[in-house]
């Protein structure tokens, strides 16, 4: 009888241990290095944001957080890898507005959607800036509007490619200002910059951090930033929205931390807590502001934010008839 009782107690203990195993496993998360995918080569604004976030998350989660750069297709290849990854908390994406919200609207080649991710939180945002070449003959937004309005179809603006945030910002300016300009898509920012500085192109759209060195040197003229309010980085450059004709212009580049869909809640909660602490870190804010970005408030509801952004981009894409 004692032997049977011992066996019963042993079996019960083993059963309870098995039931508790998932809880112990979740409590142990993370137990190995975490990978953050960035859908662009090293050196760009998304890569810089990803690396800055990775350092902070590593310190808070207690494991290495490494960056994997997977360039191509406007960030879509890297984003697709994360969408396909196991939802175990070891693969995340630091993505920008392009690969998360825009690409799906402008090309049928992109197979993932926002719903294929677990949105952890918004990290930061950065305005774009509408600029004029020194040879354009305009010094401010009013002169730009007057000149383009009187010469429909005569002038062109450039962006870093079809369907990018820069392209959509240009189309939003056209829609709000009731302007007719030709869009010239470039294969990246470098050739766009060369043509603007060489006065081979009248107007262009930059990410603020990319355009700022050329604005400060006087090689291009800033006409206005594209978010609703002036950037704290450049308080001397007016927001386009300050002009009544462009009052609804509000578009920028933003960065978010995303995981695969169906991320377990205990994992989500730990990473979300670490991200929120990061967003409130003075050192993190200082680094991001130095790059031209404004750090997001932890209170931002990322799901509502993404839904609103997709709706906004969809309207611009339909206006501009963008499709690849």
Indicate if the pLDDT at residue 13 is higher than 60: no
Indicate if the pLDDT at residue 4 is higher than 80: no
What pLDDT, in 10s, does the model give residues 242-285?
999 999 999 999 999 999 999 999 999 999 999 999 999 999 99
What pLDDT, in 10s, does the model give residues 178-192?
999 999 998 888 899
Query: Distance (Å, rounded) from C-alpha 285 to C-alpha 118?
Result: 24
Mean pLDDT value across residues 13-21: 46
For residue 200, the 8-state DSSP code is S
Mark 275-287 as b/e (b = at least 16 C-beta within 10 Å): beebbeeeebbeb
Residue 160: predicted pLDDT: 86
127-246 CATH: 3.40.190.10
Q: How confident is the model at residue 170 (pLDDT cuts 50, 70, 90)?
A: very high
Query: Distance (Å, rounded) from C-alpha 301 to C-alpha 279?
Result: 14
Domains 32-126+252-320 and 127-246 share a fold: yes
**DSSP states of 228-273 as a string?**
SS--TT-TTSPBGGGSGGGTT---EEEEEEEEETT--HHHHHHHHH
For the chain, the straight-line distance linking the first and the last C-alpha, in angstroms and rounded, comes to 77
Structure tokens at 234: 């450049």
The per-residue pLDDT of the chain, averaged, comes to 90
Cis peptide before 101 (omega within 30 of 0): no
* Beta strands at 117-133 and 220-225: parallel, antiparallel or unpaired: antiparallel
To the question of domain 32-126+252-320 being in CATH 3.40.190.150, the answer is: yes
Indicate if the pLDDT at residue 45 is higher than 90: no
Residue 9: predicted pLDDT: 52
Helix (H) or strand (E) holding 179: none
* Beta strands at 252-260 and 294-295: parallel, antiparallel or unpaired: unpaired
Indicate if the pLDDT at residue 225 is higher than 90: yes
What are the sequence ranges of the domains in the chain? 32-126+252-320, 127-246
CB atoms within 10 A of CB 125: 21
Residue 204: predicted pLDDT: 97
Residue 22: predicted pLDDT: 43
């Amino acid at each position: 009888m004692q032997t049977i009782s011992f066996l019963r107690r042993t079996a019960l203990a083993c059963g309870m241990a098995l039931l508790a195993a998932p809880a112990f496993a979740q409590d142990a998360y993370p137990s190995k290095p975490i990978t953050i995918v960035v859908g662009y080569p090293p050196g760009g604004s998304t890569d810089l944001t990803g690396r800055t976030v990775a350092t902070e998350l590593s310190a808070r989660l207690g494991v290495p957080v490494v960056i994997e750069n997977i360039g191509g297709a406007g960030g879509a290849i890297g984003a697709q890898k994360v969408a396909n990854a196991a939802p175990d908390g070891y693969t995340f994406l630091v993505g920008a507005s392009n690969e998360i919200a825009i690409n799906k609207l402008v090309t049928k080649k992109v197979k993932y959607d926002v719903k294929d991710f677990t949105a952890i939180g918004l990290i930061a945002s950065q305005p774009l800036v509408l600029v004029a070449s020194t040879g354009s003959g305009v010094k401010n937004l009013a002169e730009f509007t007057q000149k383009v309005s009187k010469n429909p179809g005569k002038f062109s603006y450039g962006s870093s490619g079809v369907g990018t945030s820069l392209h959509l910002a240009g189309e939003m300016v056209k829609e709000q200002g009731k302007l007719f300009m030709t869009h010239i898509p470039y294969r990246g920012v470098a050739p766009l910059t060369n043509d603007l500085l060489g006065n081979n192109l009248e107007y262009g759209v930059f990410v603020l951090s990319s355009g700022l060195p050329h604005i400060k040197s006087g090689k291009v003229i800033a006409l206005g930033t594209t978010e609703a309010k002036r950037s704290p980085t450049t308080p001397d450059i007016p927001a386009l929205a300050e002009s009544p004709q462009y009052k609804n212009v509000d578009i920028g580049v933003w960065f978010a931390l995303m995981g695969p869909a169906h991320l377990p809640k205990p994992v989500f909660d730990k990473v979300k807590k670490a991200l929120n602490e990061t967003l409130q870190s003075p050192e993190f804010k200082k680094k991001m502001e130095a790059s031209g970005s404004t750090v997001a408030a932890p209170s931002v509801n990322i799901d509502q934010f993404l839904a609103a952004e997709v709706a906004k981009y969809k309207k611009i894409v339909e206006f501009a008839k963008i499709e690849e």
